[in-house]
Amino acid sequence: MIESVDLNTIDWSRAQFALTAIYHWLFVPLTLGLSFLVAIMESIYVKTGNPEWKRITKFWMTLFGINFAIGIATGIILEFQFGTNWSNYSWFVGDIFGAPLAIEGIMAFFMESTFIAVMFFGWDKVSKGFHLTSSWLTAIGASLSALWILVANAWMQFPAGMSFNPDTVRNEMVSFWDVLLSPVAVNKFLHTVSSGYVTGSVFVVGISAWFLLKRRNIQMAKRSILIASIFGLIASVFLALSGDGSAYQVSQKQPMKLAAMEGLYQGKKGAGLVTVGVPTPGKKAGDGKEEFLVKIEIPKLLSFMGYRNPEAFVPGVEDLISGGFKPEFDHINPLEKSRALSVEEKISRGKIAVSALGLYKEAKSANDTAGIKSSLQVLHENFPYFGYAYLNSPNSVIPNVPLTFYSFRIMVILGFYFIVLFILVLYLLNKNKLEKKRWLLWLSLWTIPLVYFASQAGWVVAEVGRQPWVIQDLMPTMAAVSKIDASSVIITFWLFAAVFTTLLIAEVMIMKRQIKIGPNDGGQDNV
């Protein structure tokens, strides 16, 4: 049952998917954020009847449209890769994973695409109310698209609402609501769309700051900064709160990821949260080296954030490999009542589960009722460790600790920086001093790439931190990949890299040209 796979195929398939996901996520956050900002600005126009707000709305709507159009291509390619490069994964969980993707395509995408046409071509052709409704439905549709994709991703992090069918060797959905409303899915959706709202807000503030630096479109820039800063500040605060909820879910469902995020190798009670630190280069589990060259931490905060108890025990990488740190962790797996299993024991149980599946197939072919019953019982008892059968050593469950550690801190530090930036910009705008603070205007402009960097770092934490799992505990990466020649993946990798880079350059150039043109009336108001 367990077959060897070409490591080159695995590595290049992972690289290709990562490449596509990284490029796709350069477009999605701006779509999420700008869509709501455009809807808010148009709402002000409809309420006040002020044509200046219509001009402002149309300008940002144009930039939204450019980003939306180019972003679609990468998303379509991303979904197709599940069938081309990850066919074993698609077979194993397609009944579950395919459902949210289908809903995303049928409901959210078509809803978004239908009303976006009214947004761009319906000015003066439909009523103000209908046009405004279309703008809001486009924004809601964008977030609904994100919802179903994030539900699918959250299920990979924490599989719920499913049952394994030994006859088809596939997992089947038994509760749609358990999949949709799992705590991991709820927190992932709230946290991720909030990051998109922050991205859109930083983008609007930064581009508006450029107009102020050039002393062009002054009123448009100030009004745009006002709306974007308020929206961005609210979204940033909510982003921090949802981030806390996400960290809590990681501690409960993916403790190895939490250990990697904190560079924690040896568990402790009352664990502190490392705010700034330098992990020891080359540190390995069990090598006896210190975890950090230097670190600054907040005492007991990690225990509190992870378990809502400042004295709670937080297991480290070595604890999770060796096991035995019960009873603090009874919540991780209902089968582990007395103590945590070591990874070695989980590998053994995984192999028992795979063997039981084979025995079930044999018993069913022989019409052996007793054999069917006994093998099914063994399979169900050990199925939570099914994916461990594919692992070669206990250390293979350790993700890239330094990359996860640094990415998490980049995301958090920049997240708090955005809050400070929005507050400062709002304060100076209210005092009518923002135009004089050219350093802050330049800082706002150069914050645009930083918000993308923070967003990408968040996905690095989410995806690198759960390696080697494609589906947590049930399927590692090596078991999910398609049986294809590595050379075909390498060729398509470079083709995609060229296409995506071209699309990105095209978007940046088109955006820059449109920004320099400004609003459609020339926008030379300097009052």
Distance CA(448)–CA(196), nearest Å, equals 12
Distance CA(237)–CA(231), nearest Å, equals 10
pLDDT above 90: residue 261? yes
Cβ contacts of 34 within 8 Å, gap of 6 or more: 60, 63, 64, 67, 200, 203, 204
Collapsing DSSP to helix, strand or coil, 265 comes out as coil
Beta-sheet strands, E only, within 74-166: 162-165
Per-residue confidence at 117, pLDDT binned at 50, 70, 90? confident
pLDDT of 1: 43
Contact 200, 241 (CB under 8 A): no
Q: What are 479-514's pLDDT values in tens digits?
A: 989 888 888 899 999 999 999 999 899 999 999 999
Per-residue confidence at 329, pLDDT binned at 50, 70, 90? very low
* Backbone phi and psi for residue 134, each to the nearest 5 degrees, phi listed first: -65, -40
Collapsing DSSP to helix, strand or coil, 294 comes out as strand
Distance CA(489)–CA(484), nearest Å, equals 8
Enter the pTM of the model.
0.91
pLDDT of 327: 44
pLDDT above 60: residue 334? no
* Backbone phi and psi for residue 340, each to the nearest 5 degrees, phi listed first: -80, 135
Distance CA(10)–CA(14), nearest Å, equals 6
Question: Looking up tokens 């190895």, which residue turns up?
Answer: 256
Which whole number is the average pLDDT over 307-318?
91
Q: What are 118-176's pLDDT values in tens digits?
A: 898 889 899 999 999 999 999 998 898 889 989 999 999 999 999 999 999 999 999 99
pLDDT of 9: 87
Burial call 10-38: b when 16+ CB within 10 Å, e when fewer: bebbbebbebbbebbbbbbbbbbbbbbbb
Burial class (CB in 10 A: 0-12, 13-18, 19+), 338: exposed
Nearest to 198, CA basis, from 41, 504, 408, 419 = 419
pLDDT of 68: 86
pLDDT of 526: 42
Percentage with pLDDT > 70 across the chain = 94
* Backbone phi and psi for residue 333, each to the nearest 5 degrees, phi listed first: -145, 125
Q: Pick 326 or 443 by higher pLDDT.
A: 443
Tokens describing residue 494:
């470079």
Q: What are 219-244's pLDDT values in tens digits?
A: 999 999 999 999 999 999 999 999 99
Distance CA(206)–CA(128), nearest Å, equals 29
Which whole number is the average pLDDT over 37-65?
95
pLDDT above 70: residue 339? no
Q: What are 456-476's pLDDT values in tens digits?
A: 999 999 999 999 999 999 999
Q: What are 163-199's pLDDT values in tens digits?
A: 999 999 999 999 999 999 999 999 999 999 999 999 9
pLDDT above 60: residue 523? no
From 104-108, 212-216, 331-335, the region with the lowest mean pLDDT: 331-335
Percentage with pLDDT > 90 across the chain = 72
Per-residue confidence at 100, pLDDT binned at 50, 70, 90? confident
Which whole number is the average pLDDT over 45-70?
92
Q: CA gyration radius for the chain?
A: 25
Q: Counting runs of H as helices and runs of E as strands, what totals does the chain give?
A: 17, 8
Which whole number is the average pLDDT over 284-306?
92
